[in-house]
C-alpha cells in the first residue's frame, strides 16, 4: 500500500492538461467524492495501528500535492469552477428576458410623413444645422430688418473663421434654398431636420424641434396643385375622412401664403382645449414660392412656379398620440418612450 501511494506521488507530479474539461476530469479522478485519494482514506482503517501515523501523514501530503498540482493546472487553463460544470447548466430553465428598444415617437411620425410624400415622387434632401444668413434668411426674401432675424428668435453662432455671421437654422427652408441652387426644376423634395429657435421652454414650445418642409417646382404649378397634394397628405396621415381648410397667412418666402387646418372635431373636453374651441387644428404653413426666392436661386420665375410647405413634427406627434407636454419628447424617459411603435 505504501508503494502504491509513492507511485501516486510520481503520477500526480507528472499530470498535464490542455483545457478546462481535462482539468475537471483529473480533479474528479483524484480528488472527487469517489476519487482515488478518497478511496485511500477509506482504506485507512485497514492499516495496522503502528503504521497509521506515518500513513496518515503520507495521505495528507498526497492530497495536498494533488490539490496543488490540479489547482495549478486549473489556473493555467483558466478554469474557475470547483463544482462539476455539467450540473450547473440546466437547459430547461426559462431564459432571462432582455429589453429591446422601440422607435422614438418623433422618428415614427417623421418616417410616416416621408413615406407619404415619397409615394408621390418627393425625394429627401438634407443640409447643415449651422447655416449662414443667406440660406436661412436672405435668399428666402426676409427683409434686412425682419423680426425673425432678431436675437430673440435666432441662436447666432460665434464664427472665428470669417466675417460672416452664422446661426443655427430656424427652419429647414434653408435646405430648399440649397436644393434650388444646385438643381434646375423639376424639383420635388422634402427636407426633414432639426431646427432651433430661441424660445422659452414650455409644454407647447421648445428651443429645439423638428420640421419637415416640402418644395415642388415645375412649369405651371398652381395653388390648386398644392391644395390637392396637402389634402392627399392629410387623408393619408389622419384618415380618409379628414377635411382641410386653408387660411390666408404671411411668410416672406411665399406669396400667397396660407396656414392649413384639419378638422379635428369637438367631441370632448380635450378636443375643445386642443382646438381652442374651434374644432380646427393648425397643421402646417404653405404657399406659392415667391418669385424673388426663385430668382435668388437662379431659377427663372417667368418659366417656373412652385409651392412650399412646412410642418412641425412634434406638434403632429402630440396630436396623434395625445401627448400634452412637448418636453416629454426630449427627456428620454423609457417609461414614456416604450409606449410607441413596435420593438426594433
Ligand atoms: N418655414 C416656415 C416655418 O418654419 C414654414 C413654411 C414652409 C411656410 C414653407 C410656408 C412654406 O414656420
Q: What is the pLDDT of residues 138-169, one digit of tens each?
A: 999 998 888 777 766 889 888 767 667 889 99
Beta strand 166-168 with 156-157: parallel, antiparallel or unpaired? antiparallel
Please indicate whether residue 163 or residue 310 has the higher confidence score (pLDDT): 310
Assign 313 a pLDDT band (cuts: 50, 70, 90). Answer: very high
Ligand 1 center to residue 286 CA distance, Å? 6
Give backbone dihedrals phi and psi of 302, rounded to 5 degrees, phi first: -75, -30
Neighbours of 20 (CB within 10 A): 16
**Distance of alpha carbon 180 from alpha carbon 195, whole angstroms:** 20
What is the pLDDT, as a whole number, of residue 127? Answer: 96
Name the CATH architecture for the domain at 105-337: 2-Layer Sandwich (3.30)
What is the pLDDT, as a whole number, of residue 113? Answer: 97
What is the pLDDT, as a whole number, of residue 176? Answer: 96
What is the pLDDT, as a whole number, of residue 162? Answer: 67
Nearest Cα residue to 343 out of 107, 100, 108: 100
Assign 56 a pLDDT band (cuts: 50, 70, 90). Answer: confident
**Would the CB of 261 count as within 6 Å of ligand 1?**
no
Q: What are the domain boundaries of the chain? A: 2-78, 105-337
Largest CA distance in the chain: 123
Which atom of ligand 1 has the smallest separation from the CA of 285? 8
Which atom of ligand 1 has the smallest separation from the CA of 172? 1
Angle at 282 between CA 255 and CA 130, to 5 degrees: 65
Minimum CA distance residue for ligand 1 atom 9: 309
Distant-in-sequence, close-in-space partners of 247: CB < 8 Å, separation ≥ 6: 258, 259, 260, 261
Q: What is the mean pLDDT of residues 285-309?
A: 97
Amino acid at each position: 500500500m505504501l508503494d502504491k501511494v509513492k507511485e501516486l506521488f510520481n503520477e500526480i507530479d507528472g499530470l498535464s492538461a490542455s483545457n478546462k474539461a481535462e482539468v475537471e476530469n483529473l480533479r474528479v479522478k483524484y480528488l472527487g467524492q469517489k476519487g482515488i485519494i478518497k478511496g485511500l482514506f477509506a482504506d485507512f482503517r485497514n492499516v495496522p495501528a503502528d503504521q497509521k501515523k506515518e500513513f496518515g501523514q503520507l495521505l495528507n501530503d498526497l492530497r495536498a500535492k494533488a490539490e496543488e498540482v490540479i489547482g495549478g493546472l486549473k489556473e493555467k487553463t483558466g478554469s474557475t469552477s470547483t463544482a462539476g460544470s455539467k450540473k450547473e447548466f440546466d437547459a430547461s430553465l426559462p431564459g432571462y428576458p432582455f429589453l429591446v428598444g422601440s422607435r422614438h415617437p418623433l422618428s415614427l411620425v417623421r418616417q410616416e410623413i416621408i413615406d407619404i410624400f415619397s409615394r408621390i415622387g418627393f425625394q429627401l434632401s438634407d443640409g447643415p444645422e449651422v447655416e449662414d444668413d443667406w440660406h436661412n434668411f436672405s435668399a428666402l426674401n426676409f427683409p434686412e430688418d425682419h423680426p425673425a432675424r432678431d436675437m430673440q428668435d435666432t441662436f447666432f453662432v460665434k464664427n472665428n473663421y470669417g466675417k460672416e455671421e452664422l446661426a443655427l437654422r430656424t427652419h429647414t427652408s434653408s435646405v430648399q434654398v440649397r436644393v434650388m441652387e444646385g438643381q434646375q426644376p423639376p424639383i420635388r423634395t422634402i427636407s426633414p431636420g432639426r431646427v432651433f429657435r430661441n424660445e422659452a421652454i414650455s409644454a407647447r414650445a421648445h428651443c429645439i424641434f423638428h420640421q419637415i418642409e416640402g418644395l415642388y417646382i415645375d412649369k405651371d404649378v398652381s395653388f390648386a396643385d398644392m391644395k390637392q397634394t396637402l389634402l392627399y397628405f392629410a387623408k393619408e396621415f389622419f384618415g380618409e375622412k379628414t377635411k382641410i381648410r386653408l387660411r390666408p397667412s404671411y411668410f416672406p418666402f411665399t406669396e400667397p401664403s396660407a396656414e392649413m387646418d384639419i378638422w379635428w372635431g369637438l367631441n370632448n373636453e380635450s378636443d375643445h382645449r386642443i382646438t381652442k374651441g374651434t374644432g380646427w387644428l393648425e397643421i402646417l404653413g404653405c404657399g406659392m414660392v415667391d418669385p424673388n426666392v426663385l430668382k435668388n436661386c437662379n431659377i427663372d420665375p417667368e418659366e417656373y412656379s412652385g409651392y412650399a410647405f412646412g410642418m412641425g413634427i412634434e406638434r403632429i406627434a402630440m396630436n396623434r398620440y395625445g401627448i400634452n407636454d412637448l418636453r416629454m419628447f426630449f427627456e428620454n424617459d423609457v417609461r414614456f418612450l416604450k409606449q410607441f411603435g413596435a420593438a426594433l
